[in-house]
Amino acid sequence: MNVVSQMKLFMEPKSVAIVGATRRTGPLSFNIVEKLLDFGFEGKIYPVNPEADQISGLKAYPSAMDIPGPVDLAVIPVWERSSIPDLVRQCTEKEIKAIVVVGQGFADADDEGRALQQELLGIIRGTGARLLGPNSLGVANPSKGLCTAFIDVRMESLPIGLICQSGLFFGGLPASALLGKAIDIANASDIHFAEALQYYEDDPETKLIVLHIEGVRDGRGFIEVAHRVSRKKPIVALKVAKTEQGAQAAQSHTGTLAGRDDIFDAALKQCGIVRAGDIDELADLIKAFLHLPPMRGRRVGIVSISGGAAIMAADACASENLEVARLSAPTEEGLQELSPQWMRATNPLDYWPIGIHSRKSAPEMAKKGVRDFLADSGTDAVIHVPGYYPPQDVSRIAKDFVHVSEAFPEKPVCWWMSGYHAKGVIAEFESQGIDVFPSCERIARVLAKLHQHWQFLQSD
């Protein structure tokens, strides 16, 4: 079986066995059978527990071998590590080819745990089965109602494919929900980044791949696959364990050797993987690569209700090696006609005095500014700092601005909204298709990465 077919058993199973399912139910029972039912999993669910007749209303089997039909995926949610090899053996005897091991205390722990992890690999060797984990929450696929995590997970259906080494991301980090598909490779004893990447590579439901990396075992294999995949779909990565203190902590989390960060950083760049420096940036990059076009150059237009904000935006651009765009003469002249005589209309544009002078409303001036800046061949992107808008006008104003942006699909437009903008107003703008970020610094970081990715795609 090729790796993609094998990964489909994990991600698109028709039947799932929970081998060692708990009989407890309700909050904090960590009952995966119950959770699969709650998520509305479409396929068959087989609880396996020698001491139960049924679990959550489903017939339970004493062992995996007793399950009548074929089983695509087995999840082993048992904490006592010494009992896990026998359960994996059961699964291989049942000829299950995709196995998730949830329990901890393997390569993430002591010598005995490392030996146990090797034992698991020995059991699957030659059987055609592949193993996800140990120490893994398994997989999630919202379009199939599939989530094997024993914790509470809120799933959305964005076209994102996540590969992570910590359950934290099933819990929704950096958003407040699992945004798309997910594969928790955790200790990565068998299934590693390369295999998981190949599943997403041609998956039509996945437009953006997000990685949480503690360490990579087979560097060369990873680079080969990642380099190929990132030409098809953007890959954004949060590489942690980047300091000695972090690497020490990683050793006891997934048993990973984190490697030297500068080498890792160079490898990610070489693969065209866009690296997020922290959790905030990961959230921003996910938003940006889902919604915004590539940035084709470094020249930014700044259209701001506030001169103070314009300064900060210019600073932020400079810090990310972006330029404050030089506008063409006709663009400046058109804006100058509306401006008080003492003001020079240029980039960055503080449109407040223009509005006062020309008696135009703030959204009217803002829209003209954004449109003129986008139309100018000297800009590659626009940062907009909007004024205060009454909540009842937001929906209409947002639609107007989306219309303006749509006329220039090759240039990213980012709004900086914080401070006087109520959270409800921001959410309403976002729901209408405006790409809002909480600070100009975070916008500049995002634009720089959009440009970096564009350069990668242009390179041979």
Query: Hey, which residues between 284 and 313 contact a copy of itself (CB under 8 A)?
Result: 306-312
Q: Could you tell me which stretch among 56-64, 65-73, 337-345, 405-413 binds a copy of itself (CB under 8 A)?
A: 337-345
Q: What would the 3-class secondary structure string for the chain be? A: CCHHHHHHHHHCCCEEEEECCCCCCCCCCCCHHHHHHHHCCCCEEEEECCCCCEECCEECECCHHHCCCCCCEEEECCCCHHHHHHHHHHHHHCCCCEEEECCCCCCCCCHHHHHHHHHHHHHHCCCCCEEECCCCCEEEEHHHCEECCCCCCCECCCCEEEEECCHHHCCCCCCCCECCEEEECCCCCCCCHHHHHHHHHCCCCCCEEEEEECCCCCHHHHHHHHHHHCCCCCEEEEECCCCHHHHHHHHCCCCCCCCCHHHHHHHHHHHCCEECCCHHHHHHHHHHHHHCCCCCCCEEEEEECCHHHHHHHHHHHHHCCCEECCCCHHHHHHHHCCCCCCCCCCCCEECHHHHHHHCCCHHHHHHHHHHHHHHCCCCCEEEEECCCCCHHHHHHHHHHHHHHHHCCCCCCEEEECCCCCCHHHHHHHHHCCCCEECCHHHHHHHHHHHHHHHHHHHCC
Q: Of these, 79, 118, 396, 431, which contacts a copy of itself (CB under 8 A)?
A: 79
Contact between 101 and a copy of itself per CB under 8 A: no
Contact between 105 and a copy of itself per CB under 8 A: yes
Residue 214 or 372 having the CB closest to a copy of itself = 214
Contact between 118 and a copy of itself per CB under 8 A: no
Minimum CB separation of residue 153 from a copy of itself in Å reads: 8
Q: Which amino acid is at 398?
A: A
Residue 13 or 167 having the CB closest to a copy of itself = 167
Query: Hey, which residues between 254 and 283 contact a copy of itself (CB under 8 A)?
Result: 254, 277-280
Cα angle at 53 between 47 and 58, to 5 degrees? 45
The 354-393 contact track toward a copy of itself, x by CB under 8 A, reads --xx---x--------------------------x-x---
Q: Could you tell me which stretch among 17-25, 42-50, 83-91, 348-356 binds a copy of itself (CB under 8 A)?
A: 348-356
Size of residue set near a copy of itself by CB under 8 A: 84
Q: Of these, 55, 316, 338, 443, which contacts a copy of itself (CB under 8 A)?
A: 316
| HSE-CB of 178 using CA atoms within 13 angstroms | 32
Minimum CB separation of residue 168 from a copy of itself in Å reads: 4
Q: Of these, 192, 253, 411, 451, which contacts a copy of itself (CB under 8 A)?
A: 253
Query: Hey, which residues between 386 and 445 contact a copy of itself (CB under 8 A)?
Result: 388, 390, 418-423, 438-442
Query: Hey, which residues between 34 and 73 contact a copy of itself (CB under 8 A)?
Result: none
Minimum CB separation of residue 456 from a copy of itself in Å reads: 25
Minimum CB separation of residue 149 from a copy of itself in Å reads: 11
Residue 169 or 373 having the CB closest to a copy of itself = 169
Q: Of these, 246, 293, 297, 433, which contacts a copy of itself (CB under 8 A)?
A: 246
Residue 252 or 377 having the CB closest to a copy of itself = 252
Q: Could you tell me which stretch among 57-65, 192-200, 285-293, 341-349 binds a copy of itself (CB under 8 A)?
A: 341-349
Q: Of these, 5, 83, 143, 248, which contacts a copy of itself (CB under 8 A)?
A: 248
Contact between 167 and a copy of itself per CB under 8 A: yes
Residue 57 or 391 having the CB closest to a copy of itself = 391
